[in-house]
Amino acid sequence: MAKIRLYIDHPLAAGQPVPLEQGQAHYLSGVMRQKPGDRVRVFNGRDGEWLAELDQVGKRGGSVTPVEPSAPQQDPPDLWLCFAPIKKARTDFIVEKAAEMGAARILPVQTDHTNSERIRQDRLQAHAIEAAEQCGGTYVPPVDDLTPLSRLLDGWDEARRILWADEALAGPAQTLAGLQGGPWAILIGPEGGFSAAERTRLRSLPFVTPVSLGPRILRADTAAVAALALWQASLGDWR
């Protein structure tokens, strides 16, 4: 089985050639030393994974032709991750781990104490793609642009519950026993925590469930991974 996996944003069907982006072609030819006739695995987030054959490949471009399906499409549970961006490398880490752990959508949010006033949405989306390529996933979560938390909550669909990792509840770790399945989102705050006004609003919303992630206050990137694992093990597809 071919070991190289590529995300290709084109429909995939047997015998239908699809183009490679210039960066992908350069990676295949210049880094991995692939040549026409070699095989790779490709996916587009919709049609499952396909075994494909390289038609042509070089520094400036190339194409591949899907040959046969190699894995079915596997979509994640209906779980979103909302988080306040932190330092660059740690924000990258959060996006990568969210993609690996089965988040269906990633929403960076601007809070009163968020350190970053802007993000590179395209760069974070690229990290999500790379994570899906490496972990064997067939789905790539979309990464939204930075949105103020207040605006996000103003337009929130109350049918989607929010699991709020509340650092003020540090203590015995909680289980999610008794919570219902369905659409959910996880909310992780910034390094300085949520402001008093944000905490008051979150506690007033009927669709928000505050939880403790254990006896220690976790770094934001650690909290995101812990909350995703807790939800997946209790309500998601790890059960």
Asked if the model's pLDDT at residue 172 lies above 80, the reply is: no
Residue 179 amino acid letter = L
Q: How far apart are CA 103 and CA 84, in angstroms?
A: 16
Can you give the pLDDT at residue 174? 66
CATH number of the domain at 5-71, out of 3.40.50.2300, 2.30.30.100, 2.40.240.20, 3.30.2130.10? 2.40.240.20
**Hey, where are the domains in the chain?**
5-71, 79-234
Percent of the chain whose predicted confidence (pLDDT) is above 70: 98
pLDDT of residue 99: 98
The residue type at 149: L
| Token representation of residue 79 | 């779980």
% of the chain exceeding 90 in pLDDT? 80
Alpha-carbon distance values, 91 to 10, 15, 51, 141, 221 (Å): 28, 39, 32, 15, 7
**Angle of CA points 119, 123, 127, to nearest 5°:** 120
Q: Is residue 223 within 8 Å of 165, Cβ to Cβ? A: yes
3-state secondary structure of 51: strand
What's the pLDDT score for residue 2?
A: 84
pLDDT value, residue 85 = 94
pLDDT at position 117 is 78
**Residue 24: pLDDT band by 50, 70, 90 thresholds?**
very high
Task: Round to whole Å and give the CA distance between 189 and 224.
Answer: 9
Identify the residue whose tokens are 């084109």: 10
d(C-alpha 190, C-alpha 188), whole Å? 7
Q: Which of these CATH numbers, 1.10.510.10, 3.20.20.390, 3.40.50.1980, 3.40.1280.10, describes 79-234?
A: 3.40.1280.10
Q: Cβ neighbours of residue 154 under 8 Å, at least 6 residues apart?
A: none
Question: How far is it, in rounded angstroms, from Cα 79 to Cα 129?
Answer: 18
Q: For 49-78, write each residue's pLDDT tens digit.
A: 999 999 998 877 899 999 999 999 999 999
* pLDDT class of 191 with cuts at 50, 70, 90: confident
Mean of the per-residue pLDDT values for the chain? 93
Residue 173 has pLDDT above 70, yes or no: no
**Is the model's pLDDT at 175 over the cut of 80?**
no
Q: What is the pLDDT of residues 141-166, one digit of tens each?
A: 999 999 999 999 999 999 999 999 99
Q: What mean pLDDT is predicted for residues 15-24?
A: 95
What is the C-alpha separation between 122 and 86, in angstroms, rounded? 17
Domains 5-71 and 79-234 in one fold: no
